[in-house]
Protein backbone atom coordinates (compact mmCIF):
# COMPACT_ATOMS: atom_id res chain seq x y z
CA UNK A 1 0.00 0.00 0.00
CA UNK A 2 1.31 3.47 -0.90
CA UNK A 3 0.08 7.01 -0.50
CA UNK A 4 -1.50 6.41 2.91
CA UNK A 5 -0.91 10.04 3.90
CA UNK A 6 -0.72 11.44 0.38
CA UNK A 7 -1.16 15.22 0.28
CA UNK A 8 -0.95 15.62 4.03
CA UNK A 9 1.53 17.81 5.89
CA UNK A 10 3.19 16.51 9.04
CA UNK A 11 5.36 18.05 11.72
CA UNK A 12 7.87 15.86 13.58
CA UNK A 13 9.94 17.02 16.55
CA UNK A 14 13.22 15.35 17.40
CA UNK A 15 13.62 14.73 13.68
CA UNK A 16 17.41 14.78 13.48
CA UNK A 17 17.92 11.08 14.05
CA UNK A 18 16.53 7.99 15.79
CA UNK A 19 12.77 7.55 15.89
CA UNK A 20 12.16 11.11 14.68
CA UNK A 21 14.21 10.63 11.52
CA UNK A 22 12.49 7.32 10.92
CA UNK A 23 9.06 8.95 11.27
CA UNK A 24 10.00 11.68 8.79
CA UNK A 25 11.25 9.16 6.24
CA UNK A 26 8.28 6.82 6.62
CA UNK A 27 5.68 9.57 6.37
CA UNK A 28 7.29 11.00 3.23
CA UNK A 29 7.43 7.51 1.70
CA UNK A 30 3.65 7.49 2.00
CA UNK A 31 3.17 10.89 0.41
CA UNK A 32 3.33 13.43 3.23
CA UNK A 33 5.37 16.61 3.16
CA UNK A 34 7.14 17.04 6.49
CA UNK A 35 8.23 19.90 8.72
CA UNK A 36 11.21 18.32 10.48
CA UNK A 37 12.20 20.08 13.71
CA UNK A 38 15.19 19.57 15.98
CA UNK A 39 17.51 21.48 18.29
CA UNK A 40 19.65 24.39 17.15
CA UNK A 41 23.35 23.97 17.87
CA UNK A 42 23.49 25.99 21.10
CA UNK A 43 20.53 24.16 22.64
CA UNK A 44 21.96 20.81 21.57
CA UNK A 45 25.13 21.48 23.54
CA UNK A 46 23.09 22.67 26.53
CA UNK A 47 20.89 19.57 26.65
CA UNK A 48 23.87 17.26 26.20
CA UNK A 49 25.02 18.23 29.71
CA UNK A 50 22.01 16.33 31.04
CA UNK A 51 22.27 13.27 28.83
CA UNK A 52 24.57 10.24 28.71
CA UNK A 53 24.55 10.50 24.92
CA UNK A 54 24.98 13.57 22.68
CA UNK A 55 21.98 15.28 21.15
CA UNK A 56 21.33 15.48 17.43
CA UNK A 57 23.27 18.16 15.62
CA UNK A 58 22.23 20.56 12.89
CA UNK A 59 24.12 18.27 10.50
CA UNK A 60 21.94 15.37 11.63
CA UNK A 61 18.76 17.26 10.77
CA UNK A 62 20.24 18.27 7.42
CA UNK A 63 20.94 14.61 6.75
CA UNK A 64 17.31 13.70 7.51
CA UNK A 65 16.16 16.23 4.92
CA UNK A 66 18.79 15.03 2.45
CA UNK A 67 17.58 11.42 2.80
CA UNK A 68 14.01 12.47 2.09
CA UNK A 69 14.96 14.62 -0.87
CA UNK A 70 17.19 11.93 -2.36
CA UNK A 71 14.25 9.53 -2.24
CA UNK A 72 11.97 11.99 -4.04
CA UNK A 73 10.10 13.25 -0.98
CA UNK A 74 9.73 16.74 0.41
CA UNK A 75 10.76 17.96 3.84
CA UNK A 76 12.00 21.19 5.36
CA UNK A 77 14.38 21.17 8.32
CA UNK A 78 13.81 23.85 10.97
CA UNK A 79 15.67 24.43 14.21
CA UNK A 80 13.74 24.97 17.42
CA UNK A 81 14.05 23.92 21.05
CA UNK A 82 10.75 22.43 22.27
CA UNK A 83 11.48 24.08 25.63
CA UNK A 84 11.32 27.49 23.94
CA UNK A 85 7.72 28.38 23.09
CA UNK A 86 8.61 31.29 20.84
CA UNK A 87 11.14 29.27 18.82
CA UNK A 88 8.70 26.42 18.41
CA UNK A 89 5.82 28.69 17.42
CA UNK A 90 8.03 30.41 14.84
CA UNK A 91 9.11 27.08 13.35
CA UNK A 92 5.51 25.91 13.08
CA UNK A 93 4.51 29.16 11.38
CA UNK A 94 7.40 28.90 8.91
CA UNK A 95 6.54 25.32 8.02
CA UNK A 96 2.83 25.99 7.63
CA UNK A 97 3.55 29.06 5.49
CA UNK A 98 5.60 26.85 3.20
CA UNK A 99 3.20 23.93 2.92
CA UNK A 100 -0.12 25.69 3.52
CA UNK A 101 -1.65 23.33 6.08
CA UNK A 102 -0.93 20.94 8.94
CA UNK A 103 -2.57 17.53 9.21
CA UNK A 104 -0.26 15.43 11.40
CA UNK A 105 1.83 16.25 14.45
CA UNK A 106 4.33 13.78 15.89
CA UNK A 107 5.39 15.10 19.29
CA UNK A 108 8.46 12.89 19.47
CA UNK A 109 11.33 14.90 21.01
CA UNK A 110 12.62 13.39 24.24
CA UNK A 111 15.62 12.38 26.33
CA UNK A 112 16.15 9.85 29.12
CA UNK A 113 18.52 11.93 31.21
CA UNK A 114 21.17 10.37 33.42
CA UNK A 115 20.41 7.17 35.27
CA UNK A 116 20.42 6.90 39.05
CA UNK A 117 18.17 6.69 42.09
CA UNK A 118 15.55 9.44 42.26
CA UNK A 119 17.15 11.04 45.30
CA UNK A 120 20.55 11.07 43.61
CA UNK A 121 19.49 12.97 40.49
CA UNK A 122 20.47 16.60 40.15
CA UNK A 123 17.76 19.22 39.82
CA UNK A 124 19.25 20.18 36.44
CA UNK A 125 18.93 16.63 35.13
CA UNK A 126 15.39 16.18 36.46
CA UNK A 127 14.26 19.51 35.03
CA UNK A 128 15.77 18.88 31.59
CA UNK A 129 13.85 15.62 31.21
CA UNK A 130 10.56 17.13 32.39
CA UNK A 131 11.04 20.27 30.28
CA UNK A 132 11.78 18.36 27.07
CA UNK A 133 9.69 15.21 27.38
CA UNK A 134 6.58 16.61 29.07
CA UNK A 135 6.50 20.39 28.77
CA UNK A 136 7.99 20.19 25.28
CA UNK A 137 5.15 17.89 24.23
CA UNK A 138 2.58 20.29 25.65
CA UNK A 139 4.22 23.24 23.88
CA UNK A 140 4.30 21.30 20.60
CA UNK A 141 0.56 20.77 20.87
CA UNK A 142 0.00 24.35 22.00
CA UNK A 143 1.77 25.61 18.88
CA UNK A 144 -0.09 23.31 16.48
CA UNK A 145 -3.55 22.51 17.84
CA UNK A 146 -5.09 25.91 16.95
CA UNK A 147 -4.23 25.31 13.29
CA UNK A 148 -5.93 21.93 13.33
CA UNK A 149 -8.92 23.34 15.20
CA UNK A 150 -9.38 25.95 12.47
CA UNK A 151 -9.09 23.20 9.82
CA UNK A 152 -11.49 20.91 11.75
CA UNK A 153 -9.18 17.96 11.12
CA UNK A 154 -5.88 16.49 12.22
CA UNK A 155 -4.02 13.72 14.00
CA UNK A 156 -1.62 14.19 16.89
CA UNK A 157 0.63 11.27 17.82
CA UNK A 158 2.61 11.56 21.04
CA UNK A 159 5.66 9.42 21.73
CA UNK A 160 5.21 7.90 25.18
CA UNK A 161 6.89 4.68 26.36
CA UNK A 162 6.13 1.44 28.13
CA UNK A 163 7.71 3.33 31.03
CA UNK A 164 4.68 5.63 30.88
CA UNK A 165 2.48 2.67 31.81
CA UNK A 166 4.73 0.92 34.31
CA UNK A 167 7.74 1.84 36.36
CA UNK A 168 11.41 1.00 36.53
CA UNK A 169 14.28 1.94 38.79
CA UNK A 170 16.96 4.52 37.99
CA UNK A 171 14.93 6.53 35.46
CA UNK A 172 12.58 8.49 37.71
CA UNK A 173 12.47 11.63 35.60
CA UNK A 174 11.82 9.74 32.40
CA UNK A 175 9.16 7.52 33.98
CA UNK A 176 7.41 10.54 35.49
CA UNK A 177 7.53 12.49 32.22
CA UNK A 178 6.18 9.62 30.14
CA UNK A 179 3.35 8.99 32.60
CA UNK A 180 2.69 12.70 32.25
CA UNK A 181 2.48 12.70 28.47
CA UNK A 182 -0.05 9.87 28.57
CA UNK A 183 -2.18 11.91 30.96
CA UNK A 184 -1.75 14.91 28.68
CA UNK A 185 -2.83 12.85 25.67
CA UNK A 186 -5.98 11.73 27.49
CA UNK A 187 -6.88 15.31 28.42
CA UNK A 188 -6.23 16.50 24.87
CA UNK A 189 -8.42 13.74 23.47
CA UNK A 190 -11.38 15.21 25.36
CA UNK A 191 -10.56 18.79 24.40
CA UNK A 192 -9.89 18.26 20.69
CA UNK A 193 -12.50 15.66 19.80
CA UNK A 194 -15.21 18.28 19.09
CA UNK A 195 -12.94 19.66 16.34
CA UNK A 196 -12.30 16.25 14.72
CA UNK A 197 -8.68 16.33 15.82
CA UNK A 198 -7.58 12.88 16.95
CA UNK A 199 -4.98 12.43 19.69
CA UNK A 200 -3.19 9.17 20.46
CA UNK A 201 0.13 7.94 21.83
CA UNK A 202 2.56 5.17 21.00
CA UNK A 203 4.31 3.29 23.80
CA UNK A 204 7.46 1.62 22.50
CA UNK A 205 9.61 -0.90 24.26
CA UNK A 206 13.35 -0.20 24.04
CA UNK A 207 14.20 1.02 20.54
CA UNK A 208 17.56 0.56 18.84
CA UNK A 209 18.76 4.16 18.84
CA UNK A 210 21.37 6.20 20.71
CA UNK A 211 18.91 6.46 23.61
CA UNK A 212 19.77 2.89 24.61
CA UNK A 213 23.04 2.38 22.74
CA UNK A 214 25.30 4.21 25.17
CA UNK A 215 27.63 3.30 28.02
CA UNK A 216 25.29 4.49 30.80
CA UNK A 217 22.50 2.16 29.68
CA UNK A 218 24.90 -0.70 29.14
CA UNK A 219 26.06 -0.32 32.75
CA UNK A 220 22.46 -0.06 33.95
CA UNK A 221 21.57 -3.36 32.31
CA UNK A 222 24.84 -5.11 33.20
CA UNK A 223 26.01 -3.75 36.56
CA UNK A 224 27.96 -6.98 37.05
CA UNK A 225 30.45 -5.98 34.32
CA UNK A 226 33.09 -3.30 34.64
CA UNK A 227 32.89 -2.16 31.04
CA UNK A 228 29.86 -3.72 29.30
CA UNK A 229 29.31 -3.33 25.56
CA UNK A 230 26.16 -3.50 23.46
CA UNK A 231 26.47 -7.24 22.85
CA UNK A 232 26.64 -7.84 26.62
CA UNK A 233 23.16 -6.36 27.10
CA UNK A 234 21.21 -8.36 24.51
CA UNK A 235 20.02 -11.02 26.93
CA UNK A 236 19.09 -8.46 29.61
CA UNK A 237 17.07 -6.40 27.14
CA UNK A 238 15.39 -9.51 25.77
CA UNK A 239 14.25 -10.57 29.24
CA UNK A 240 12.10 -7.43 29.45
CA UNK A 241 10.02 -8.50 26.43
CA UNK A 242 7.68 -11.41 25.88
CA UNK A 243 8.80 -11.91 22.28
CA UNK A 244 12.40 -13.12 22.04
CA UNK A 245 13.84 -9.81 20.79
CA UNK A 246 15.99 -7.31 22.70
CA UNK A 247 14.63 -4.11 21.16
CA UNK A 248 12.43 -2.79 18.37
CA UNK A 249 13.80 -0.88 15.41
CA UNK A 250 12.82 2.73 14.87
CA UNK A 251 10.89 1.81 11.74
CA UNK A 252 8.67 -0.51 13.79
CA UNK A 253 7.51 2.51 15.76
CA UNK A 254 7.15 4.56 12.58
CA UNK A 255 4.72 2.01 11.18
CA UNK A 256 2.48 2.54 14.21
CA UNK A 257 2.81 6.32 13.94
CA UNK A 258 1.94 6.16 10.25
CA UNK A 259 -1.17 4.09 10.94
CA UNK A 260 -2.38 6.39 13.71
CA UNK A 261 -1.76 9.41 11.48
CA UNK A 262 -3.57 7.93 8.49
CA UNK A 263 -7.27 7.78 7.68
CA UNK A 264 -7.10 4.03 8.32
CA UNK A 265 -7.26 4.99 12.00
CA UNK A 266 -9.92 7.68 11.53
CA UNK A 267 -11.94 6.47 14.53
CA UNK A 268 -8.98 5.64 16.77
CA UNK A 269 -8.83 8.32 19.44
CA UNK A 270 -7.51 8.64 22.96
CA UNK A 271 -5.56 5.38 22.99
CA UNK A 272 -2.06 4.33 23.96
CA UNK A 273 -0.77 1.88 21.35
CA UNK A 274 2.02 -0.34 22.70
CA UNK A 275 4.69 -1.41 20.25
CA UNK A 276 6.46 -3.37 22.92
CA UNK A 277 7.15 -6.99 21.91
CA UNK A 278 4.74 -7.99 24.67
CA UNK A 279 6.61 -6.18 27.44
CA UNK A 280 3.50 -4.82 29.12
CA UNK A 281 1.75 -8.21 28.98
CA UNK A 282 4.66 -10.07 30.54
CA atoms within 13 Å, Cβ hemisphere of 189: 17
Q: Is 174 a catalytic residue?
A: yes
- Measured in whole angstroms, the distance separating CA 238 from the mean position of its chain's CA atoms is 22
What span, in angstroms and rounded, lies between the C-alpha atoms of 215 and 231?
12
- CB atoms near residue 29 (< 10 Å): 18
* Catalytic-role residue among 79, 174, 218, 267: 174
> CA torsion sign, 111 to 115 to 119 to 123?
negative
By annotation, the residues acting in catalysis are 174
Amino acid sequence: MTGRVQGKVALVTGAGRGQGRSHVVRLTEEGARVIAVDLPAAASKDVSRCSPYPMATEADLAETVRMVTAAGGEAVGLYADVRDESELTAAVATGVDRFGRLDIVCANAGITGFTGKAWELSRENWQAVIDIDLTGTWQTVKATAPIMIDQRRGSIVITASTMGLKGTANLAGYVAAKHGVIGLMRALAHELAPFSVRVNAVAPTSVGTDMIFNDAVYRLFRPDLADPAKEDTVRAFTEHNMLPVPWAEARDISEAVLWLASDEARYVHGVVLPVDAGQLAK
